[in-house]
Structures are given as structure tokens and as C-alpha cells.
Structure 1
Amino acid sequence: MSAPLFRRALVVDDQPEARAWLEAAVAVAFPEVAVASAGSLGEAMAQLDPAPELALVDLGLPDGSGVALIAALAQRAPACVCVVATVFDDDAHLFPALRAGAQGYVLKDHDRTALAAMLRGIAAGQPPLSASIARRLLRHFQPAAAPQEVPLTARETEVLRLVAKGMTAAEVAQALGLSRHTVADYLKEIYRKLAVGSRAEATLEAARRGLVSP
């Protein structure tokens, strides 16, 4: 008969109902585990000797952040599996917890059976992650999409090419048979499309697009 995966677990949440829900999920996932609980960061810190082998930690505690507890466990008991159980699904909470040493991140929108199933997955090397958190992690590590180049009209391209060659607005107007006011309007639209604010920046962009020689 194989040894139990965990012998001692610690559940940390300041809300009694949430704490009871987490304790019940741990009991379903690992019936042999001894579950201790704490309602604050201070209470949890006082229960780290001996350190638990599994910790379910809420982030919003009345006397501090659960991230501090996760960091303490990572230092004192590197083998402890820390799982965040929280309502926060944003990057500002997710990534500090993971950097501190959390090995799972679940939201409090699961029922007890679903959470227990996620916890049992630890035995198979599956980190307990809510689906929305897994998607957020995937998006975070995907390469950013390259910005789309905004196309210029044929006339705008012509105006940009002449400006990039050093012509003034008046000279461009004369060369193209346009009024200076019309050329000014074209330049305004060109600057907007290229997201530039000066003739020098427009010239660099023209060179990048191959309209003029660098």
C-alpha cells in the first residue's frame, strides 16, 4: 500500500464558511490528511512548525497578504505544495503569488467536489488551476501580436515621399498641384496613421517603408 501523498494540511482563510469549504475539499481529496486551519496570517505563521505538506491559502487576510505565508513556506518547507484559493483573478494577485512559490491557483467559484478533483490531480503532477487562470497564464506567455501597419492612400504616400525628401509643405503643394491647406490636411492624416508627431519621425517611417532611401 502506497504512503499517503500528504499527512498534514493547512487551510488559511478569514471567512469561516470559505474555510469550512476548503477543509471539506481537502478531506474529500485526501481522507487520511490531518487538516489544521487559521483565520489570519499571524495564526497561520504560528502553525509552521512542523510545516504542512499542503497549504490552501487565501490572499486577502485581515492582517496581511497570503503571499507572505506562501513565501515563508517556500523558504522553510520547499516541499510544501501551496495552492491559492481566492476570488481574485487578476494579474496583480496571480503573478506575485506564483513568484512567491504558489503551485496552484483556484478561484472560489468551484463546488467542493470539483475542488477536490483538482487537488487530487497533484498526485499526477497536474497543478490545480481554475480554467480562467490557466487561460490567463497562456495569454501572458504568448508572444505579443506585431502591430498592424496602417496603410496610406496613394496620395498620402506621395505626399509623405516628397516630405521625406526634404520638401516644404508649399513645395509639395506646388509639385502636386494642390493647395497648401490640402497638403496640411494630408500631413495631419499621415501623422495620425503613422503615430508620429514630427517631420523627422515621418521621414524615418517613410524610410522604413521603403518610400525613400535612408
Structure 2
Amino acid sequence: MIDAPGPCVLFATPGMLSGGFSLEVFKHWGPSEKNLVTLPGFCVAGTVGHKLLSGKLTKSDLGPDSEKDIHCQVHQLAFSPHTDCKGIMDLVKFLSPKHVMLVHGEKPKMISLKEKIHSELGIPCYYPANNETVRIPSTHYENVETSDSFVRSCSNPNFKFQKCSSLDTCNSTLSDRNLMPELQVKDERVAEGILVVDRNKKAKIVHKDELLLTLSEK
């Protein structure tokens, strides 16, 4: 199909030419000035699509076997499945949540949007990094049931040891510094479970290993 004669229009992914079928087609069609490549939307820095748009694409970017220069026409289409800043602000304003968490996007733009949400709407906003834990205080409490496995997992201690030096009083007061041991032990156990909410049933917290079994019973 790639070498078929005559004009045609081909839709191929990924749109950033970062690999796959679209990149293979580009290697075949890119050298001809008769061809047009249209890139829909944003291209991440470092991808072939981004280098093509910035005019910094070289033959080495297409692989060690590439010997031809790129002469095709290039066009960028302003298309994105994501909403813009105004759309997000309108959505947050309409929903009026107590907290907002941004989980996808470039860090500088997420910082800017976070400040905008906080300053204009007065809503706390977070943009956690991958694997970062965010603790959000709650003013709503709900009575739920718990499974036996979840309760047993909460009983496992999580000891943290802290060594006290002469300059570190381990949060002690002046009156009891002489009585403080050299090593303090704290139990910082955290209850981790999955909240299962089913219609017409009371919410229940189960252990992560029970989730599949719980869902299969529905």
C-alpha cells in the first residue's frame, strides 16, 4: 500500500511520528516534495514530529538506514482532544469542588493553571508528580463496613526508629530531656484499602487482594 501508485490520503498513528506505522510511512513518503504530512496537534519534544515542525529533523533521527533527506510539505493542524485553560476553568467553576488535582500536562502549564484556580476561584489545587502521595483533609465522614482481611492488614505494625543526639531532643521539653532514651520508636502504620460502593448496599472497605473476588460477586 505504501508504494501503490496514484494519490491517496492515509490516516496513521501515532500522530507524533514517534514510532509505529506512521513513522514507517513517513520514511517512505517524506523525501518527496509532492507529499504532504499533516500533524494533528501537539508533539512532545524529542519526537520526530516535534523535530520536523521545528526544522531540526536530520537523517539520523529516522534510523541508521535512512539515507534520504526530507523534502515533503509539512502542516500542523490545530486539533486536540483536550480542553483548553478556559474550558477547565469553566468546568471547575461549574462543579465548585472543594479540591482540584491536576494529573496530566506539562509542569509549567500545570503550575500556571494551579495558581489561576487558586487565585480566581479560591479552591486548593494540587499537581502531584508520578508516584507522589497527596493527602487531602476531609470534612465528610461515612460509616462503612470492613472486611476481615482489611482489619488484619491494619494490625501490622510499621515501626519507625529515630535516634536522638545531644542536639536533637526528639520533640522533648526541657524538663524531660534527661529522661529521653537515645532511640525512640514510633508506630506509623497506615490503613490501605479499597472503598467499594454499590448501589443499594452499604459501602465497604476491602483489602486489595479481595477486590477481584468482590467484583465477581456482583
Same fold (TM over 0.5): no
User: What TM-score, normalized by structure 2, do the two folds share?
Assistant: 0.22
Query: 1 or 2, which has the higher helix percentage?
Result: 1
User: What TM-score, normalized by structure 1, do the two folds share?
Assistant: 0.22
